[in-house]
Amino acid sequence: MGIFNRLGREVEQFKQTAVESAEEQYDYRCEECDARFTTNHDYCPECGAEAVVETVETANDE
């Protein structure tokens, strides 16, 4: 049973790392529904709101 516990912990750690890495790569987000995406849109592709803004990290890099 120990191998399955260890494997489960390793998979969970990998998932957390993957989620954190993906969140860091988004350049734009919707202020209404908090959807995140890499390309600029005039409106949110998720909810249709016109509240698309650059993420803080992107704005500070320039």
pLDDT tens, 9-62? 999 998 888 777 666 677 888 999 988 888 888 899 889 999 999 887 544 444
Q: Convert the pLDDT of each residue in 27-38 to its tens digit.
A: 888 999 988 888
- Judge whether 39 and 31 are in contact, CB under 8 Å: no
- Cα R_g (the chain), whole angstroms: 17
